[in-house]
Amino acid sequence: MSADAEDSLRQAFVECLARERKREAWRESWLVRNIAVQRAETRQHVETPSLKRSTMLMRRMRQGNLCDTADWILGEIQCVGLHKYIDELVPAIMDMLCKCTLFKERMAAIEILGELYGLYGDDLRVPLTVQVQNYIVPVVPDAAKQKSSEQCKKGDEARIVMQRSLIRVVAEMAFTGLIGVTDAADCQESLTQSTAWLYQQLAAFMYNDPAFVYLPIIMYALRSYASILVKYAPLHDAGESVECWEEDTLVPGAQKVRFRLLFESYFARLVAHLQSLQQTLQACAQRIRNAIPRYGAVTVFEERENALQCDLHEYDALCEELRTFAQMIQVRCPTLKQISLEADTAGEHAQMLARIDADIEAGKSAWDNETERAFYTELLSVRVAECDDGVDLLFKKLLSVQNVMMLDHLARQFALHNTDNVRAKLCKHIMDVPCDRQNLYPFYARLTATLQCCMPSVLVQVLEALARDFRHLLSNGQGEHKVSARRKLMLFYAELTQFHLVPIATIFQLLSNLLDQFKSHSIEMLAMFLGRCGRFLLLNRALSARMLGYLEQMQRKRNALHLDMHDDAMLQNAYYDCLPQEKTQEKQVPLSEEMQLLHFLFAHKMRPANVSAVVEVLRRVDFAREEHHKYLLQRFTRPWEYNTEVYAVLAQVLRFLAGNKAFANKVVDNVIEQIQQCVETNAYAENQRKYALVRYFGQLYRSSIVADSTMLDMLWYLCVETQGDGPLEYMRIRLVNALLVVLRPVTIPHKAFDDVMLVYFAYLGQKKQPIPAEVAQDLALSVGTIFKGMGRDEHMYKNAALRARTMLNTHHSETLRGRAERYFATRDSRAKDPPKELQNQAVMHMTPHAQRDAPSQQTDTLARATKPVALLSRNGRSIQVHVPSHAYISRT
C-alpha cells in the first residue's frame, strides 16, 4: 500500500472517531436534559387547541424529512395545544420515527420527542412506549399463515424496511433516556433502565423470529451501534467465556456483556438453523439428481428445480449475513458447504481417482495374467512371409484357430494376399462368427490389429459394420432370439477396444447411448461391454476420470430404478469387474511355541505309531489355560477334518489322558450333541459330517470312553424315526450301518440289541421299502459282521424283519412303546444280574421292582398309547419321539 493511501485511511479513521465522539457527547447532553425535564413538573398550556393547526402539524410529522421541517415542527409544538389529540399524535410520531433514515433526522426526532415529553409527560410517554413495543415485536406466525405466500413475502419486506429505521431511532431514544425510564435518580440509573428496556425488546424481537426473517434488522442495528452495545472481546467461539476489554463508553459494561451474550445466542441459533437447512437442501438436491437420470430430462422437474434455486439463493444470502454477523460480534464463523444441483461427488470421485492412480502406480494390469497381456499387446510384424497357402484354405483355417502361433501364421499368409477382394472377404468372414464359437472373438480382434499396418481398410469396414449392428440392436434388439447377436456385438467391441482399435469418441458415444436408453437389452449390452473391457479403460490415465463418471451415472440409475434381479445382478457384476472390492488382508496372530507344538502334533503326528509320544506331550499340557483347553477341545471334537484312520488314534489318545476325566466327558458330550443336531436338522450338506461323527463315536466306544448304556441310547436314537423323516429318507439306516461297521469287533450286549433294538431296526427298514441296492449291501455287511462277532446267526435279523412285518397288521398284548418306555425309566436303578425268568422279556434289563410294580399289560398299554418315548436324557435334556401305536413285539 502506498503512502498516500495510508494517509487517506488514517485521515478517514480520525474523522470517523471524531464524529463518533461528537455523537456520544450529543447523546450525553440530551440524556442530562431529558432527565431534568422528566423530574420537573409538566408545564400548563394556555393555548387553545386548534384542530386545523394540529392536523397540519401531524401531517407534516408523517411526511418525514425532518432535516428541513424540524424547526417549524418545534415552533408549532410550542404554539399548538395537543393535549386533546394524544391518541392521534402517537401514530403520527410512529410514522415520523419509521422514516428517520439519517442520523440528522434521528437527532431532530430526539429533539421533538424531548419537547413533547416536557409538555405532556407520562400522558404521551406511556402510550408511545406501548406503540413502540408493538411495532418492534414481529408479527405472530399464525396470523401470517392466513395470507398467501406472495402477500406474506411482500408484508415481511415492508415491515423489514420500516423496522430497520425504527430500531435505530429506538436505540437513540434509549441512549438519551426517552424510553424505558421510570423514576431515575441520575443519568447513570436512567441509562441503565433504558438499556435494560432495550435489551428486553431485542430479546423478544429475536426469540419471536424462528425463521430468522428479521435478521437484516439486527444486522442494520449492529452496523450503527455494535461499538456501543457490544463489549469488545478477542476472537472466540459463540458462547465461550472470554475476558472483555475495558473501555469508557456510554452504555455500562455489565449491560454490554448482556448484549453480547444475547447476540451470541442468536448467532448460535442461526448457525444451527443454517446447518439444518443445509441438510434439507442437500437431500432435496440429491433427490432431484437421482430422479433426472430416471426420467431422462431436467425439464420434468423444472418447478422443483426453480424452487430449489430460490431456496439456494436465500441460503447463500443467509451464509453471507452470518459471516458479517460474526465479524461484528468478534466470533468465529463455521464453514458451511456450498450446495448445487450438480452431482456432489467430488470427494468420492477424488477417492476413486486416487485409488485408480494407486493401482496404476503399483503396476496393476488390466489383464488377469501374463499370457493374456501378451496376447493383447505383443502383435506380430507381417513384413516377412514364410510360405504361401491358398486364400480359400486360409479362410477355412481361420475357423480352426486355437492358439496365437496359428493365428500369427495365418496373418502372414493374409498379408501376402493384400487385394480388395481378399480384404472384403476377410471383413465379411470376421463379422460372420458362428454363434457357438465365442472363443474366436479375441483371435479375430488380434488378427485385425495385426493386419492394421498393411490392411487398414479391414478395420474401417469392421467398425462400420459394428456401428450398423449397434444402431439396429439398440432400437430393435429386444427379444430372446437376439441374445446371441447382442453378445457377439459387445464382445467384439470389447476385444477391439483392448487392442486400441476403437476410437475413444466411439467408445464413450456407445456408453452414452446405452445409459440413455437403459432398458433390459441395453443393460445386458452395457454389462457385457463393461465386464469385458471396463477395467482396461479405467486403468488408462487419459480415460479414467471420464470412465469413472459413466460408472457413477450407471450406479445412480441402477439405484433409482426398480430393476429386476437379473438386470441388477448384471450391472453389479459389471461394476465390480471394473472396480473390484479391496480385499482386506487378515492379520495373522503369531502363535506361541506351545500352540505351534500342538498344531504340529495334530497336523503331522496323529499316526498309530506315534500314540505314546503324542500322549506323553499332551500330558504336559496345562489344560487349565483357556487357550490350550479351547484348542484341544476343538481338535478332539471335529473329526471330519481328519482322515478316517485318524479317528481311532484320537480315541486312543483321549483314553490315555486318564488324568483329565472332565475333559474326556466334555468331548463325549460335545460329540453326542453334534450328532443330535446334525440328525435333527437333516441338512444334505452335513452328511459327511454325520458319518464322521458317528464313526468317531464308535471309536470312542471301542476305546472304553463311552459306556454301554450310552451306546445303546445312541443306537436307539438312530433307529427311531422322527416326524421329519420321509419315506425315501435312508439317512438313519446309513448312520446305523456306519456305526455297526465300527463296532463289529466289539461284543455288544446282545440281549438288549436282540430284544428291542434289532426288532425296531428291522421295523425301520421295513417302512423304508424299497431299500436302494447300496443301502441293502451296507446293511447286509454291517448286520452280518456284527452277529458273527457276537457268535449269533445272521438269520436273526431276517427273523426280526419277519416279526417287524407282522407287527404292521397284528395286535399283541403289549406295544413296543410301553416296553421301551419302562426300560428307559428304570435303567438307572436296574439290577446288575436280573432274574433268569426276566431275561427272555422284550424289556432290556428291567429290574424286578419295576416288573412287580407294573400294572396290568392291557391297562399299561392303553395308558401309554398317547405318550412319547424319552430317548436320551443327557445334560438334563430329553429327546421325545412318537413310536407308532401299531408296533408290537412278540417273544413267541
Helices 731-743 + 661-681 axis angle, to 10: 150
Read off the pLDDT of residues 796-846 as tens digits, 9 standing for 90 and up: 555 655 655 565 555 443 444 454 445 445 544 443 333 333 233 322 332
**81, 83, 88, 94: CA torsion to nearest 10:** 90
Examine the pLDDT at 196 and tell me if it is beyond 80: yes
The pLDDT value recorded for residue 883 is 35
Q: Are strands 869-870 and 880-881 parallel, antiparallel or unpaired?
A: antiparallel
* pLDDT for 16: 59
| Count of residues in the chain | 892
Higher local confidence (pLDDT), 656 or 12: 656
Dihedral angle, C-alpha 629, 631, 634, 635, nearest 10 °: -110
Span 324-336, average pLDDT: 81
Q: Measured between alpha carbons, how far is 65 from 104 in angstroms, rounded to an integer? A: 10
**pLDDT over threshold 60, residue 248:** no
Beta-carbon contacts of 705 under 8 Å, excluding residues fewer than 6 positions away, are 651, 654, 655, 664, 668
What was the pLDDT predicted at 350?
Answer: 65
* Distances 683 to 105, 247, 687, 717, 738 between C-alpha atoms, Å: 94, 86, 7, 18, 18
Question: Tell me, what's the pLDDT at 799?
Answer: 60
For 514-545, how does the pLDDT look when each residue is reduced to its tens digit (9 = 90+)? 998 888 889 999 999 999 888 888 888 888 88
Q: Above 60 in pLDDT, residue 600? A: yes
- Cell triple for residue 83? 393535549
Decide: 675 and 738 in contact? Cβ < 8 Å.
no
Lowest mean pLDDT among 52-61, 200-209, 667-676, 716-725: 716-725
CB 534 within 8 A of CB 547: yes
- Average pLDDT over the chain reads 74
3-state secondary structure 791-832: CCCCHHHHHHHHHHHHHCCCCCCCEHHHHHHHHHHHHHHCCC
| Range among 203-207, 344-348, 379-383, 664-668 rated most confident | 664-668
Higher per-residue confidence, 600 vs 4: 600
Neighbouring-strand partners of residue 331: 236
> So what's the pLDDT on residue 295?
52
Which of the two residues, 805 and 559, has the higher pLDDT score?
Answer: 559
Q: HEC states along 611-662?
A: HHHHHHHHCCCCCCCHHHHHHHHHHHCCHHHCCCCHHHHHHHHHHHCCCCHH
Percent of the chain with pLDDT over 90: 7
The three-point CA angle 850-856-862 to 5° equals 105
Taking residues 386-395, what's their average pLDDT?
A: 63
d(CA 806, CA 203): 100
Confidence category of residue 873, pLDDT binned at 50, 70, 90: very low
Instruction: List all residues 6 or more positions away from 764 whose beta carbon is below 8 Å from its beta carbon.
Output: 719, 720, 721, 732, 733
What tens digit of pLDDT does each residue of 81-94 get? 777 888 888 888 88
Q: Which residues pair with 870 in a beta bridge?
A: 880
State whether residue 331 is helix, strand or coil: strand
Worst-scoring range by mean pLDDT, 101-115, 151-165, 475-489?
A: 151-165
Among 468-482, 566-580, 782-796, 854-868, the minimum mean pLDDT is found in: 854-868
Query: 12-219: which CATH topology?
Result: 1.25.40
pLDDT at 451 over 50: yes
What is the pLDDT, as a whole number, of residue 200?
84
218 has pLDDT over 60: yes
Give the mean pLDDT of 51-80.
83
Query: Residues 93, 95, 96, CA angle at the centre, nearest 5°?
Result: 60
Dihedral pair phi/psi, residue 869, rounded to 5°: -95, 130
- Per residue in 848-868, pLDDT tens? 333 333 333 333 322 333 333
Region of poorest pLDDT, from 260-264, 433-437, 650-654, 841-845: 841-845
Which pLDDT does position 876 carry in this prediction?
A: 35
**H helix runs in 208-245, sequence order:** 215-229
Per-residue pLDDT at 386: 42
Residue 639 has pLDDT above 90, yes or no: yes
Q: How far apart are CA 653 and CA 636, in angstroms?
A: 10
Write down the pLDDT at residue 843: 29
First to last CA, the chain: 126
Cell of 15: 474523522
**pLDDT of res. 812:** 40
pLDDT, position 192: 79
Select from 116, 217, 107 the least CA-distant residue to 164.
217
22 band by pLDDT with thresholds 50, 70 and 90: low
Residue 111's pLDDT band (boundaries 50, 70, 90)? confident
Overall pTM > 0.95: no
User: 256-278 pLDDT, tens per residue?
Assistant: 888 888 888 888 888 888 888 88
Q: What is the mean pLDDT of residues 486-512?
A: 89
| 370-578 is a CATH 2.40.170.20 domain | no
**Range 870-876, long-range pairs (CB < 8 A, 24+ positions):** 870/821, 870/824, 870/825, 871/713, 871/716, 871/717, 871/720, 871/824, 872/672, 872/676, 872/713, 872/714, 872/717, 873/824, 874/669, 874/672, 874/710, 874/713, 875/669, 875/673
**Helices 86-98 and 103-120: angle between axes, nearest 10 degrees:** 160
**Residue 48's pLDDT band (boundaries 50, 70, 90)?**
low
The rounded distance, in Å, linking the Cα atoms of 48 and 50 is 6
Query: In the prediction, which pLDDT does 249 show?
Result: 62
* pLDDT, tens digit, 9 for 90 and up, residues 759-808: 667 667 667 767 788 777 777 777 665 555 555 555 555 565 565 556 55
Domain regions of the chain by residue span: 12-219, 230-341, 370-578, 592-688, 707-892
The topology under which CATH files domain 592-688 is: 1.25.40
pLDDT of residue 5: 58
- Tell me how far apart the alpha carbons of residues 225 and 172 are, in angstroms, rounded to a whole number: 9
The average pLDDT across 6-12 equals: 59
The band of 116, judged by pLDDT with boundaries at 50, 70 and 90, is confident
pLDDT of residue 257: 81
